[in-house]
């Protein structure tokens, strides 16, 4: 199965370059069907460029705090000199949504467009 997800330019470029390999999303009805081995087409929401990644692992957490504590910040897209703050995710999701659904860490690996 292939899923489509939009990304802002910065996280898109971090995934494209291989720097970021964990995508963080709300564990809502749209994400529950995702399985290891599925593909995700990430689209840059400014340029419409698309990259394809394979789902290599899925981990569910109650909060983004737990998720952030589980991974090195670089895997989440933070640079060495940046402070990783789970409150950054509040620009995308409300605390109520997080409390209701929990969150999902989608571990990904970029694949060649012709390889899937």
pLDDT tens-digit map of 36-73: 999 999 999 999 999 999 999 999 999 999 999 999 99
How confident is the model over 9-20, as pLDDT tens digits? Answer: 999 999 999 999
Quick one: tokens of 68?
A: 């952030």
Residue 113 pLDDT > 60? no
pLDDT of 116 reads 42
pLDDT value at residue 115: 46
Average pLDDT, the chain: 95
H or E element, residue 112: none
Tokens, residue 43: 């689209």
What is the rounded average pLDDT of the residues 70-86? 95
Residue bearing the bigger pLDDT, 75 or 113 = 75
1: nearest Cα among 41, 59, 46? 41
pLDDT value of residue 39: 97
> What distance in Å separates the CA atoms of residue 38 and residue 33, rounded to the nearest whole number?
10
DSSP annotation of 82: S
CA distance between the termini of the chain: 10
At 114 the pLDDT is: 52
pTM above 0.85, yes or no: yes
Residue 102, both tokens: 């929990």
């Amino acid at each position: 199965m292939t899923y489509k997800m939009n990304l802002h330019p910065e996280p898109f470029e971090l995934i494209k370059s291989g720097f970021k390999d964990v995508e963080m999303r709300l564990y809502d009805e749209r994400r529950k069907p995702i399985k290891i081995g599925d593909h995700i087409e990430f689209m840059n929401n400014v340029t419409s460029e698309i990259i394809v990644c394979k789902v290599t692992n899925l981990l569910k957490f109650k909060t983004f705090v737990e998720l952030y504590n589980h991974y090195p910040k670089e895997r989440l897209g933070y640079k060495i000199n940046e402070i990783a703050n789970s409150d950054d995710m509040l620009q995308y999701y409300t605390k109520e949504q997080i409390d209701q659904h929990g969150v999902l860490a989608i571990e990904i690996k970029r694949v060649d467009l012709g390889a899937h």
